[in-house]
Amino acid sequence: MIVAALDDAQLRELIALGRQLGMEPLVEVHSRSELDRALAAGARILGVNNRDLKTLTVHPETSLELIDYIPDNCIAVSESGLRTHDDILRLRAAGFDAFLIGEHLMLAPDPAAALANLLGTPPTQG
């Protein structure tokens, strides 16, 4: 769920619906005010999207700016703009639990090798 696209009532309603269906929603934020709204609505899995939805530019610093405001009892996910193993290590050290990586893998000529590089493991042969 993208907080920027929902009002507070819709956000609470969709979080509740997800749980009724046996799923815990990933609630995506881009700013401190959106994070505050997500937390007030009861979000437990918070995705910090580093991509500005208006300009589509990516600012990896967004995750680092918001991580300190995500409570320890929530799962923190950094989204967009992650391209290297060092990116993952830096964000993991900052406190992120998980990472959403799409474009980097989808555009890679060898997605398996790109994933291995992100994980810091040698690619498998074959």
- Please report the domains of the chain, with CATH numbers, ordered by start residue: 7-46+63-98+112-118 (3.20.20)
Q: Specify the residue for token string 């437990």.
A: 44
With residue 8 as reference, give the H or E element that holds it: helix 8-20
Q: Residue 120 pLDDT more than 60?
A: yes
Rounded CA separation 38/12 (Å): 9
**Spatial contact of 44 and 70, defined as CB atoms under 8 Å apart:** no
**Rounded mean pLDDT, 51-75:** 95
Rounded CA separation 46/36 (Å): 11
Q: Which long-range contacts (CB under 8 A, 24 or more apart) does 34-39 make?
A: 34/3, 34/4, 35/66, 35/69, 35/70, 36/69, 37/3, 37/8, 37/11, 38/3, 38/11, 39/71, 39/74
**Rounded mean pLDDT, 106-125:** 86
* Three-state secondary structure call for residue 4: helix
Predicted structure pTM score: 0.90
Q: Residue 102 pLDDT more than 90?
A: no
pLDDT in the model for residue 125: 63
